[in-house]
Amino acid sequence: MNLIIDIGNSRIKIALFEKDMLSEIFLETDKTVLKKIKKLFKLHLISSSIISTVKDVSNEITNYLQENSIFILVNHKFSFPFKNLYKTPKTVGVDRLVLSSAAVMLFPKTNVLIIDAGTCITYDFVSKDSEYFGGAISPGLKIRYKSLNDYTSKLPLLDVKQPKSFIGNTTEESIHSGVVNGTLQEIDGVINQYKNKFSHLTIVLTGGDAKFLSKQLKSSIFANQNFLLEGLNKLLIFNDNK
């Protein structure tokens, strides 16, 4: 069994895979993650583990995984299944590289645009020739709501909510309209830019806000909130078989 750990900006996801099959997913915090990992090792026969992280991970966690499994910490020296054409390859987020790897392995010989709607919204493009070009980074939904509250004196901090209309008739509805509709228009606009340049484009939407956004987008997309976890598992198998 494979133990998959994705440490993001806002949350930590832990998943168990039996070969290619996703078995369980757990959401943890910095304080609970090690305790959960130890518990899973007691309950399951885990042979391999992998971590993708956008921030520093404690030595206590990595040491435990190294002692109890075949362990991989994904970094920029890692062997990815694509050619990286990013001009500054050491600066691109590891999470973006993992998502692009998932696209190459799950959609071979296909132009793929991966949109990760989390703390930030990232756009990443890999070509049918397995080349990673890069993409874009913009604020996620919660950052947009928070910025309106942080940088003004009177606008309230609101939770994410679908606006009743694109014409807001209260301050709260105006904020929802601006944030949610603005985000949707941005995503649809970026998708159209890529469609105009690349034919036979597959669009993958993932991340914490994928479910909320997917029902409202005009473009035809493949929505999968666990795309990064599946990509990490694929990378683990890819490197185990080398």
The share of the chain scoring above pLDDT 70, in percent, equals 99
CATH no. of 83-231:
3.30.420.40
Q: Does 119 show up as a binding residue in the annotation?
A: yes
- Contacts for 185 with CB less than 8 Å, ≥ 6 apart: none
pLDDT tens-digit map of 190-228? 999 999 999 899 999 999 899 999 988 877 788 998 999
Q: Does 20 show up as a binding residue in the annotation?
A: no
Q: Does 144 show up as a binding residue in the annotation?
A: no
Domain residue spans in the chain?
2-73, 83-231
Q: Is the pLDDT of residue 239 over 80?
A: no
Residue 241's pLDDT is what?
66
pLDDT tens-digit map of 59-74? 999 999 999 999 999 9
Sheet of 111-117: strand order equals: 83-84, 131-139, 120-126, 111-117, 201-206, 222-223
Q: Is the pLDDT of residue 115 over 70?
A: yes
Q: Does 12 show up as a binding residue in the annotation?
A: yes
CA distance 236 to 95: 14
Determine how many CB atoms are found less than 10 A away from the CB of residue 218.
Answer: 11
Say if 2-73 and 83-231 have the same CATH topology.
yes
Q: Is the pLDDT of residue 240 over 80?
A: no
Give domain 2-73's CATH superfamily. ATPase, nucleotide binding domain (3.30.420.40)
Binning pLDDT at 50, 70 and 90, where does residue 46 land?
A: very high
Instruction: Provide the annotated active-site residues.
Output: 95
CA distance 118 to 95: 11
Q: Does 94 show up as a binding residue in the annotation?
A: yes
Q: Is the pLDDT of residue 242 over 80?
A: no
pLDDT tens-digit map of 86-106? 999 989 999 999 999 999 999
Q: Is the pLDDT of residue 10 over 80?
A: no
Residue 3's pLDDT is what?
97
